[in-house]
Structure 1
Amino acid sequence: METKKNTTLREGFLVKRGHLVHNWKPRWFVLMPDKLLYFKYDGGKRDSCQRGKILLKDCGITSPFLDYENRPLVIKLRTKNGVDHFLEACSREERDDWAGDISAATEKLRGPEGVKGPNLQTTTTGSQLHDINLIKVLESMYDVHSGIKMGNHLDHGSSYSNCFSGSVVVDWLVFSQLALTRVEALTLASALQEESFLWPVGLKSVEALRTAGLTEHFMDDSTALYSFSDSLKKRGSVKAETSMSAVELSGKVIKRGYLLKQGHRRKNWKVRLFVLRSEPAYLHYYDPTKDDISPVGGFSLRACLVSSLGDNGVPSGVKGNIQGNLFKIITQEDTHYFIQAPTQQQKMDWIEAIRQHT
């Protein structure tokens, strides 16, 4: 029995790059068996009129797609007519889930003798790690134009410059087709570290090197930091600086996701990327339309109150169009935050996660 074409396979927020003006805007995406629809949110409510669609038949997928330095969670879709679409997820897990579901949908649209378009890179089988030249791999990684992008990162209250995370290394090796799977990329990264081409930076990666086995000491983790060896430090040295903002952002990431937040002054609703951290417990939010890696706001969760708001009528203090799934956070300083989740289940998940860290 064939899947009905109007069946919703997956839906949620992704940030899409425009075709004419290359700005990034959050859109609500709905994956169906033969197409991907996207909608705009008007204030706090989804627009009933779709803004566009991407036909999936013979559509090629590249994930991870790493051409955007400050956007490591992008999926690239290329339609059979050669039109490229760039979509950014809120986390590595969400990116991989979306890419996997889209790839599965495109595979089902190919008949027994259908045209074979490019598959999702991370699903290719086989191995190509034998007789690999680590020096050439390192030179490619270090290339200032197409190599790994270095930046500032945080670990346990310290800010490190000119480094990168373990998951960025794994993403880059897969994207560059130097490894066919994440497992292969992890093996290759471990070999580079064994040869001291890559060095651990910060407590997490150093501890992993000290305690793990020889084949497992490199971490496919967005919070484990690494740098190039001293012999390759012409592009900048690793420095550690401690600041109050660094301490706020140094906690372990517990949860990430796109939520709607009401502004304090204009009372308008905007999609924000929320990141919940522990030790110390903070909730930060980012503007997904900007390339800036710094949050636009955030607050300590100490002594915060979080509560679900009913969807019958508009609660006091809430303005504009409301989709529903509302909850409120009151900080220790008595600042009120009104937030909408995409679904009832996500609202309850966020409330539970926040309560565990207040």
Structure 2
Amino acid sequence: DKKPSARMEPERIREGYLVKKGTVLNSWKVVWVVLSDDAIEYYKKKTDSSPKGMIPLNGAKLITPCQDFSKRTLVFKVSTSKNQDHFFQATHMEEREYWIKDIKRAISCLQGGKKFARKSTRRSIRLPDSVNLSELYVLMRDQDTGIKELKLEKEKKIFNHCFSGSTVIDWLISMEKVRNRAEGLMLATGMMNEGFLQPAGELSKQGSESGAESVLLDQPNAVYYFADSGFFCEGYSSDEDTIMKEEFRGAIIKQGCLLKQGHRRKNWKVRKFILRDDPAYIHYYDPCKGEEDPLGSIHLRGSVVTAVEYVPDAKKYDVNGNLFEIITSDEIHYYLQAATAEERKDWIHAIQTVAKTGK
């Protein structure tokens, strides 16, 4: 018969790669993060058995969005009861939302002395925060009933996948999310503060930096885009630029972190991958830096992607399973490693679909 254990192992609520700011140095590094019901642990590598650090959640506060670093969007801050600040950065919007929801929930369960549960069983007495911005964002992105993404010409540039500030307010009113333009501005400003909407042109950028009540401008000339859309801007310049931009035109199908094996030195590094469709490309980035300069791009048309059990030249300790390989039409091999079997399956499926249908 089972012995009752003195302390149940804390439940692993969520785990994954996040970028973390060094506690001493100002450098940002990718770490493997595990959220349990009473702490956040972070590891240098996913395979490490002991964590590099542990952040107790009892009495901690979560601050989001955190605008201490203007160049870095998607940062949130966990402040411990002893006033130590820890800064984490997610690689994309949706991922940040998941982490924030679960950390908030873990903190409030600890405060109330309850066991962690995603859904509160009894109706919370607190008034609901009347608006769920993540849900609103999903509605805005809806292909049929959402905000239409257009190609707009402004300031001698072409902005792709954009819309104007007034369009956002019009949409909020037409969907009966707000009663008037003033309410619409407040809500849209909330969407910008949370990073769901981003300013695209000079005018909208000035608005967002003004520190005024409403940073979103209700003007036809103020241009915005969705945080995870295929936004890009072209100047009227040489053809070469346009060809270069071509590969970023597709809609984003999937994004997230994977381990990638280097071509020359066979070491594994965490990279952020963005899969786009039509044209079919996967770009990879250093997750600690911005998305201006990809480290590389893989053209997927005619490529083959398969799960593999081992990688030639890989050091045993670097590989934790869940490997897959992309072989491009010109015979370049890319070896990647997902965090879980489920994630490997999803990536393979998504890449296969794009490779077949994309141009």
Mapped partners of 1:294, 1:101: distance in 2:
31
In structure 2, the partner of 1:217 is none
Mapped partners of 2:91, 2:242: distance in 1:
26
Quickly say closer, same or farther: Cα 1:323–1:295, change in 2 above 3 A.
same
In structure 1, the partner of 2:15 is 11
Quickly say closer, same or farther: Cα 1:299–1:346, change in 2 above 3 A.
same
Q: Does 1:289 align with 2:278?
A: no
SS at match of 1:49: coil
Deviations 1:202-254 (A, max 9, x none): xxx6xxxxxxxxxxxxxx55438699xxxxxxxxxx95555222111121111
SS at match of 1:357: helix
How many residues of Structure 1 are paired with residues of Structure 2 in the alignment? 273
Q: Does 1:316 align with 2:312?
A: yes
Question: Counterparts of 1:3-152 in structure 2 under 5 Å?
Answer: 4=8, 6-41=10-45, 46-111=47-112, 125=129
Mapped partners of 2:345, 2:272: distance in 1:
17
Give the C-alpha shift of residue 315 in structure 1.
Answer: 3.5
Mapped partners of 2:215, 2:273: distance in 1:
35
In structure 2, the partner of 1:223 is 229
Is the 1:198–1:226 contact (alpha carbons within 8 Å) kept by the matching residues of 2?
no
With normalisation by structure 2, the TM-score equals 0.67
Is the 1:77–1:86 contact (alpha carbons within 8 Å) kept by the matching residues of 2?
yes
Is the 1:318–1:338 contact (alpha carbons within 8 Å) kept by the matching residues of 2?
no
Is the 1:165–1:224 contact (alpha carbons within 8 Å) kept by the matching residues of 2?
no
Deviations 1:175-222 (A, max 9, x none): 8xxxxxxxxxxxx999955x4175236xxx6xxxxxxxxxxxxxx554
SS at match of 1:280: coil
Mapped partners of 1:246, 1:54: distance in 2:
42
Instruction: Give ranges in structure 2 of 5+ residues lacking alignment.
Output: 1-6, 114-126, 132-149, 169-187, 196-211
In structure 2, the partner of 1:199 is 222
Q: Which amino acid aligns with 1:173?
A: N
Structure with the bigger RCO (C-alpha within 8 Å, sep 6+) is 1
In structure 2, the partner of 1:178 is none
With normalisation by structure 1, the TM-score equals 0.67
SS at match of 1:298: strand
Q: Does 1:340 align with 2:340?
A: no
Q: Which amino acid aligns with 2:51?
A: Q
Is the 1:165–1:221 contact (alpha carbons within 8 Å) kept by the matching residues of 2?
no
In structure 2, the partner of 1:216 is none
Quickly say closer, same or farther: Cα 1:4–1:197, change in 2 above 3 A.
farther
Mapped partners of 1:351, 1:174: distance in 2:
31
Deviations 1:143-188 (A, max 9, x none): xxxxxxxxxxx979x8759x9998996554358xxxxxxxxxxxx9
Is the 2:230–2:252 contact (alpha carbons within 8 Å) kept by the matching residues of 1?
no
Instruction: Give ranges in structure 1 of 5+ residues lacking alignment.
Output: 113-122, 128-153, 176-187, 206-219, 228-237
Is the 1:76–1:86 contact (alpha carbons within 8 Å) kept by the matching residues of 2?
yes
Deviations 1:119-147 (A, max 9, x none): xxxx97258xxxxxxxxxxxxxxxxxxxx
In structure 1, the partner of 2:354 is 357
Mapped partners of 2:229, 2:70: distance in 1:
17
Give the C-alpha shift of residue 280 in structure 1.
Answer: 0.8
Quickly say closer, same or farther: Cα 1:289–1:191, change in 2 above 3 A.
closer
Quickly say closer, same or farther: Cα 1:222–1:257, change in 2 above 3 A.
closer
Deviations 1:307-326 (A, max 9, x none): 0012xxx4434345211100
Question: Counterparts of 1:174-253 in structure 2 under 5 Å?
Answer: 174=194, 195-196=218-219, 199-200=222-223, 221-223=227-229, 239=235, 242-253=241-252
In structure 2, the partner of 1:303 is 302
Mapped partners of 1:197, 1:160: distance in 2:
14
Question: Counterparts of 1:249-268 in structure 2 under 5 Å?
Answer: 249-268=248-267
In structure 2, the partner of 1:271 is 270
